[in-house]
Amino acid sequence: MSYIAVLAGKYHLSVSQTRQLLLEQYGVTFSTGAISEAQGKVSSMLTPTHQSLKEHIHKALYVHSDETSHFRNGEQGTRWCWLISSQDAVFQTVRYFRNKDNAKFMLGECKDNIVITDQYAAYNFINPEKHQLCLAHVLRNLQQMADYSGGGLTSRIGKKLVLILQTVFRTQHRYEQNLLTEVQWLRRMQRLKQSFKSLLEKGADTPSERYSGRCQHLLKCETGLWVFVTYQGTPLTNNEAERCIRGTVIMRKNCFGTSSDRGDEFRSRVLSVIETCKKRGLSALDVISEIVTAVTERKPYPDVFNLTSD
């Protein structure tokens, strides 16, 4: 059962591909129903670990959040796979909607966390002083402004805004490499912050309604662009969450959608465990095997990630 779970969750094999591999490797024929049933059993066994991962992440200082579409075969409505991650853990689950209620479900109160997300409006409930917006997303959006086909003032301001953000990344990297002192880093970031705001104010009055609106939006959420200056160590981007959710995207591409709630739960739980194993340098097969063996043999449930010490 552990092997079947890892073939799906880590190596992104569909049920039919898993069935074929087991036949070639062991010479044993399993029905697709038997493989699906095994996945469902593993999913149930992973439930306590899955919930513990969420609670563990809620205690972390830095929390990343992201979401991607999820499909149920035979249903027209799109569901969403939500993910939160910390330095050493990942939790994801499938929800019906992409909205503020589900963002709150994932993040909880988030009073003591610094949360890193993209600019999606569902996250606006987070305290802006502890809500770092992904500067990589902002940079990509401003690059579109710089490449504006109409040229003129809109394009010129866009290019200057892109240059400032590129300088922010370069300055941050130099500081992390100990090539700048903290005083130098802080002085440069303050100058860049002032220049960026000044250009956004000019961009808000450009003829292009699309890009003037984008500048106005960034002015409204300006605090979220510079949280990393106040709380040193805060990541500038949400790349961490995007890397963790990549397995879900690959599985969606290879295996298409799910067909039941059991399929949704299996993907959420097994991928949460596997991505956490990646972060901790553990064997996903060993970890899942330990859980499955303990439950099957009616032994005490194992704390595979040492989460109870939290």
* Cα–Cα distance list, 119 to 116, 162, 176, 221, 237 (Å): 10, 17, 25, 9, 11
- What's the predicted TM-score (pTM) here? 0.92
Instruction: Return per-residue pLDDT of the chain as tens, 310 residues.
Output: 999 999 999 999 988 899 999 999 888 888 888 998 999 999 999 999 999 999 999 999 999 999 999 988 777 778 999 999 999 999 999 999 999 999 999 999 888 899 999 999 999 999 999 999 999 999 999 999 999 888 888 999 999 999 999 999 999 999 999 999 999 999 999 999 999 999 999 999 988 888 999 999 999 999 999 999 999 999 999 999 999 999 999 988 888 888 888 889 999 999 999 999 999 999 999 999 999 999 999 999 999 999 876 5
Token pair 């699906």 is found at 36
DSSP 175-205: HHTTSS-HHHHHHHHHHHHHHHHHHHHHHTT
Cα dihedral 94, 90, 47, 131 sign: negative
Instruction: Check: CB of residue 129 under 8 Å from CB of residue 156.
Output: no
